[in-house]
């Protein structure tokens, strides 16, 4: 079995056991990628089980090729030979994939950052397993999945806030605008996106807000009842 750099041999000198270990590394990388992707799939994110599995397996193969395929050249002292080149480009390549799942919604909301970071971390898991650093890859996977489950169960910061769409038809007057602002302030609300449509003396406000506590139907009805100029409210 492969135990150190001095034992790495060209393909034609590798034993069946050496190739079997390579296969085990690829399979293990895929399994760990599936575990990471499963959490993303359950939350209906853009990149799921298949994407993370492919990333982990591919990263492991790149590391195996990078680490073992050019040992003969290194041994012969080939000038400019660098075993780390292929593996190093995995990080850059994953950056392009990650950029594909990040998109801006409206004027302020950015989605896909966690999924992109997960894809990047999954490639690191594949590289570690491909290099034979099993415990590093296993611990990294446990850390990724564990932190995601924990922080979704006990959210902090912006993750603890709820995003909600509020649509209001009302008279276009300063008094009603102030009343709506007061309602948002009572929930520690932050307007992420807004569109305004004016029809005669009325205005239609479509607000995407981030709140510590979401609006309830009862609160919407209370606001509607307390302000005669409010024609309709949807939350």
Is residue 174 domain-shared with residue 139, that is, in the same domain? Answer: no
Is residue 149 domain-shared with residue 208, that is, in the same domain? Answer: no
Per-residue pLDDT tens for 42-78?
877 777 889 899 999 999 999 988 888 766 555 555 5
| Phi/psi at 69 (5° precision) | -75, -20
Is residue 113 domain-shared with residue 16, that is, in the same domain? Answer: yes
Domain tally, the chain? 2
DSSP symbols for 135-147: HHHHHHHHHHHHH
Among residues 115, 132, 156, which one ends one of the domains?
156
**Can you give the residue range of the structural domain that contains 39?**
5-156
Per-residue pLDDT tens for 160-198?
566 667 777 777 777 766 777 777 777 666 666 667 777
Is residue 77 domain-shared with residue 173, that is, in the same domain? Answer: no
Average pLDDT of span 201-217 = 70
> Nearest Cα to 137, choosing from 65, 214, 30, 231?
30
Per-residue pLDDT tens for 213-229?
666 667 767 766 676 66
> Nearest Cα to 14, choosing from 71, 63, 58, 74?
71
pLDDT at 94 over 90: no
Among residues 156, 190, 213, which one ends one of the domains?
156
Among residues 156, 184, 212, which one ends one of the domains?
156
Query: Is the pTM for the entire model greater than 0.85?
Result: no
Domain of 225: which CATH number? 3.30.70.260
Is residue 92 domain-shared with residue 189, that is, in the same domain? Answer: no
Per-residue pLDDT tens for 2-48?
544 444 455 556 677 778 889 999 999 999 999 998 888 887 777 78
Going by pLDDT thresholds of 50, 70 and 90, the confidence category of residue 155 is low
Is residue 221 domain-shared with residue 170, that is, in the same domain? Answer: yes
Is residue 152 domain-shared with residue 229, that is, in the same domain? Answer: no
Structure-token match 């982990």, residue found: 56
Q: What is the average pLDDT value for the chain, to the nearest integer? A: 76
pLDDT at 232: 67
pLDDT at 121 over 70: yes
Is residue 74 domain-shared with residue 20, that is, in the same domain? Answer: yes
pLDDT at 6: 41
Is residue 179 domain-shared with residue 113, that is, in the same domain? Answer: no
Is residue 30 domain-shared with residue 133, that is, in the same domain? Answer: yes
């Amino acid at each position: 079995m492969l135990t150190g750099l001095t034992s790495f041999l060209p393909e034609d000198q590798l034993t069946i056991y050496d190739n079997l270990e390579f296969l085990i590394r690829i399979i293990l990388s895929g399994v760990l990628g599936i575990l990471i992707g499963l959490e993303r799939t359950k939350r209906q994110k853009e990149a799921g089980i298949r994407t993370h599995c492919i990333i982990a397996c591919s990263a492991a193969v790149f590391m195996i090729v990078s680490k073992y395929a050019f040992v003969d050249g290194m041994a012969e002292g080939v000038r400019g030979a660098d075993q780390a080149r292929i593996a190093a480009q995995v990080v850059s390549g994953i950056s392009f994939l990650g950029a594909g799942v990040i998109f801006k919604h409206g004027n302020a909301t950015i989605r896909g950052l966690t999924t992109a970071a997960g894809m990047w971390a999954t490639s690191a898991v594949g590289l570690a397993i491909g290099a034979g650093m099993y415990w590093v890859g296993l611990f990294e996977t446990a850390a990724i999945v564990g932190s995601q489950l924990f922080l979704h169960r006990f959210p902090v910061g912006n993750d603890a806030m709820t995003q909600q769409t509020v649509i209001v038809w009302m008279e276009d007057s300063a008094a009603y605008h102030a009343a709506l602002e007061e309602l948002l302030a009572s929930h520690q609300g932050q307007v992420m996106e807004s569109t305004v449509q004016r029809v005669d003396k009325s205005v239609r406000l479509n607000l995407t807000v981030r709140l510590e506590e979401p609006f309830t139907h009862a609160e919407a009805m209370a606001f509607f009842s307390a302000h005669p100029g409010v024609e309709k409210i949807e939350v």
